[in-house]
Amino acid sequence: MLSFLPAFLRGTLAILLLALNTICCASVLFLLALVKLLPIPTLQKRCTIIMIRVAEFWILCNSGWMALTGNTRWEIEGLEQLDYRGWYLVTSNHQSWVDIIALQHVLNRRMPMLKFFLKQELIWVPIIGLCWWALDFPFMKRYSKAYLAKHPEKAGQDLATTRKACEKFKTTPVAVFNFLEGTRLTPAKHAEQQSPFNYLLKPKSGGIAFVLDAMGNQLRSLLDITIHYPGGNPSFWDLLSGKVPEVVIHCELKPIPPEFLGKDYQNDEAFRAEFQAWVNQLWVDKDAHLARLHAQYPTPADRAKK
C-alpha cells in the first residue's frame, strides 16, 4: 500500500507501529496477569482466554503493518487441516528471523497460539519475558549431564517442573513450537555441520522428545511446516521495509507415534535411537519437499546456478 515510499521510511514506520503495538498489548497483559494472580480458578481461566485474545490481536496488528508497508504474496497450503480447539506439536525449518512473524501471521486464529518451551533465564528479558510469563509459556530448567553427575538428587526435577508448568494446558488448547535445527540456516553453519541435507541443518531431536515426555498425553498431532522464500532468505529489516516479495508455507499434519509417549529419551538408548531415526526421516522428507519448492519457486541463487 505504501510501496511508493522509500524502503527506509517504510521500515521506520513499521518499527514504530510494532513498538506501539507491543507496548499497548503488553500493558493490557500485565494488568490481566495481576488479576490472574487471585486464587479463583474460574477467574484465572477467564483471564487466560482474554490474554490469548490480546496476543492474537497483537499478531493481527503485526499483519496489518506488514500489509501496509509491503506487498508480500503468500502461497499457503494445508491450513484446512487445522483446528483452533486442537492440541499440537509444531515444527518447521528455520531460515530467517522472519520465520516466526510469518508463521504467526499465517496460523493466527486457525490453531491455538504458538507457544515455545523457554529457558528459565529468558523470563528476565525486558517486557517480552513478562509477556511470555503472563501468557503461560512454559519455562524449563535443563540440567547438563555434568551437573547431574555432581548433583544426582536433581535427576528428574527438570522434567517434573516442566510437567507441572504444562498442567494448565489440559483444559486450554495449545500448540507447542520447536525449531528442530535449533538455529537459522546459513551457508557457514551448513558447511560447519557438514549437513547431509541440501536445504537444512541437522535436526536435534532432544527438544521435542522432552516436550512429548512432558506433554505426550495432551498433544494429538505433529504439524510439520516447510517455509520457502523465493526471493531469498530475508532479514527482519527486509520484512519491516516491505522487501519480502513472496513467502511459501506448506503445512502437513502427521500422527505422533503412540509408542514415543512417556519414554525416557535421556536414559533409554534404544528409544533414543528409534526417536532420532524418526526425526531424521522427517528431515529427509522435508529436504526433498524443499527441493521441489526450489524447482517450482526458484530463488536468485537457484537461477544463478543455471
| Tens-place pLDDT, residues 247-260 | 999 999 999 998 88
What backbone phi and psi angles, to 5 degrees, belong to 250? -115, 130
Would you state the pLDDT for residue 118? 79
Structure confidence at residue 228 as a pLDDT band (50, 70, 90): very high
Decide if 107 is inside a domain: yes
What sign for the dihedral angle of Cα 92, 217, 256, 105? negative
Full domain range(s) for residue 220: 74-305
Is the residue at 118 inside a domain?
Answer: yes
- Contact assessment for residue 48 and residue 36, using Cβ atoms and an 8 Å cutoff: yes
In a domain, 17, yes or no: no
**Which pLDDT does position 159 carry in this prediction?**
65
Sign of the C-alpha dihedral, residues 222, 49, 62, 64?
Answer: positive
State yes or no: pLDDT of 147 exceeds 70. Answer: no
C-beta of residue 234 within 8 angstroms of C-beta of residue 184: no
Return the amino acid letter for 240: L
Give the list of residues 6+ apart from residue 193 with CB closer than 8 angstroms, or none: 201, 202
Domains in the chain: how many in total? 1
Note whether residue 298 is domain-resident.
Answer: yes
The reported pLDDT for the residue numbered 67 is 95
Distance CA 195, CA 193 (A): 5
Which domain CATH number covers 266? 3.40.1130
Whether residue 3 lies inside any domain: the answer is no
Q: Three-class SS of residue 69? A: helix
Tell me what pLDDT residue 144 has. Answer: 60
Write out pLDDT tens, residues 274-284: 999 999 999 99
Q: Is 94 helix (H, G, I), strand (E, B) or coil?
A: coil
Residue 1, in any domain of the structure: no
Whether the CB-CB separation of 238 and 95 falls below 8 Å is answered with no
Residue 238 lies in a domain: yes
Q: Which pTM value belongs to this model?
A: 0.91
Q: What is the per-residue pLDDT across 58-107, written as a single tens digit (0 to 9) for each? A: 999 999 999 999 999 999 999 999 999 999 999 999 999 999 999 999 99
Instruction: Please indicate, yes or no, if residue 225 is contained in any of the structural domains.
Output: yes
Is 304's pLDDT higher than 90?
Answer: no
Instruction: Classify 82 as helix, strand or coil.
Output: coil
